Amino acid sequence: MPAAPLQVVILAAGQGKRMRSDTAKVLQPLAGRPLLSHVLATVAELDPARVCVVIGHAAEQVRSAFPDARIAWALQEPQLGTGHAVMQALPHLDARGSVLVLYGDVPLTAPATLQGLADAAANGALALLVQELDEPRGYGRIVRDAAGRVSRIVEEKDATDAERKIREVNTGIVAAPRERLEKWLAQLRNDNAQAEYYLTDIVAAAVRDGVAIEVRKPAATYECLGVNSKGELASLERRIQMNTAKKLLEAGVTLADPARIDVRGELTCGRDVIIDVNCIFEGRVEIGDGVRIGANCILRDATVGARTEVKPFTLIEEATIGQNARIGPYARIRPGTRLEDDVHVGNFVEVKASTLGRASKANHLAYIGDSTVGRDVNVGAGTITCNYDGANKHRTVIEDDVHIGSDVQLVAPVTVGKGATIGAGATIVKDVPPGGLTLTEAKQVTRPNWQRPRKK
């Protein structure tokens, strides 16, 4: 007989008042992605038959952030507790199989942990994810009978003094057979301190029905940490970054300080990569073998070829860097740029929507925008491509083996022919023929009796 299908309900209706933010709590960023995005990524690894997200506060804001047609959305309005939230999801679920209930603000639960709960529910049990905490304040307590079996869960506000001393707590994450879950939810009452329908009350219902209650624990405490404030969000950010740093170290990456790296997306590194402190990686970044990243660099949606060195304080975004290149310090490589092998882009050089051919160099104080630069080109200090006329962008073409002197302005659209040399200080407004020296000459004049203006 085939296994009963797994269905997942994610509760994401809360307002998150302690966040003090106009952004919905489940959309608050963690490692560059919304909290809910992390939960959905974990759920995808379980390959469920259905996923339903229960929304309430800022419902349209949350829904529009995740246009995936495979997600079913259930509206909880008003919000009357976790049990009430799961009730809203039931019409979106199949009548058979098992249901795993998660929270949109608990982003670090491991797939293996959740799979254990799902397997128990598939076998007919009610499965609870629990923890033992030295400081259990704020959590519902797991109450056991004399034989050590789970008998119920009591929320802290409804607990006696003796029950508050229990260290085994409920994380809120549960899995249950679909048919039994619907029956138990229908029996919920809201005669409690919060006047809410608690999902946790299904435990007592399961005990009355003689259904087995199985308990699972996460491999790490942080798997069940939720987010209710910016302080908790910051703590979880450090945790996920340390987890990422650990994986990088295990993969052979050298980190100058594992506590001072931020990966806000997906970072892939080759062998013998060295990353200095305070570097930020956003989006999808691929780094080849033997690459060295200096301190305080930011790379966003970028590819860096083998043995390239990115010197400190460099920003690279939506660009491709070849092998054996040298970038920075203080360089800015903007979107749409491709730097071929052996290219040098030095301090205070900005390159935007341009291609630099193999072994070309712009070592300092230059702007190259909307340009195609050939091989073995040298761009002198202070050179700029004047690509914008106030309304439209125009392209500059610099062919192979061109030497451009310092403080040159190339007024686009313009082409500099192969092997040409442009003298310092030139303003180029017409195409330059191949070879030869091109100057825009001006006579030097000295006025010996000229007086500087004086302040009145």
* Residues carrying an active site annotation: 364
Is the N-terminal amide bond of 258 cis, ω within 30° of 0?
A: no
CA pair distance 435, 417, nearest whole angstrom: 7
H-helix or E-strand spanning residue 117? helix 111-122
Which two three-digit tokens encode residue 339? 């730097």
In degrees and rounded to multiples of 5, residue 436 shows phi and psi of 75, 175
- Name residues whose C-beta falls within 8 Å of residue 11's C-beta, 6 or more positions apart in sequence: 54, 82, 85, 86, 101, 102, 103, 104
- CB atoms inside a 10 Å sphere around CB 207: 17
Q: Comparing C-alpha atoms, which of 113, 211, 198 is closest to residue 158?
A: 198
Give whole-number Cα distances, 396 to 172, 328, 341, 416, in Å.
61, 23, 21, 8
Return all residues near 338 (Cβ < 8 A) that are at least 6 apart: 319, 320, 322, 354, 355, 356
> How many Å separate Cα 19 from the centre of its chain?
19
Q: How far is it, in rounded angstroms, from Cα 381 to Cα 408? A: 8
With contact defined as beta carbons under 8 Å apart, do 342 and 348 qualify? no
Among the listed residues 413, 336, 426, 415, the one whose alpha carbon sits nearest the alpha carbon of residue 380: 426
Instruction: Find residue 386's DSSP bridge partners.
Output: 411
Q: Strands 396-398 and 337-339, how do they pair?
A: unpaired
405, 426 Cβ separation under 8 angstroms: yes
β-bridge partners, 101: 9, 174
Give the count of alpha carbons within 13 A of 143, CB side only.
19
Nearest-angstrom CA–CA distance, 121 and 129 = 12
Q: Return the structure tokens found at 91.
A: 């019409």
Cα–Cα distances (Å) from 386 to 366, 371, 422, in that order, read 11, 10, 16
User: Which residues lie across from 381 on neighbouring strands?
Assistant: none
Phi/psi at 249 (nearest 5 deg)?
Answer: -60, -45
Rg of the chain on CA atoms, in Å: 31
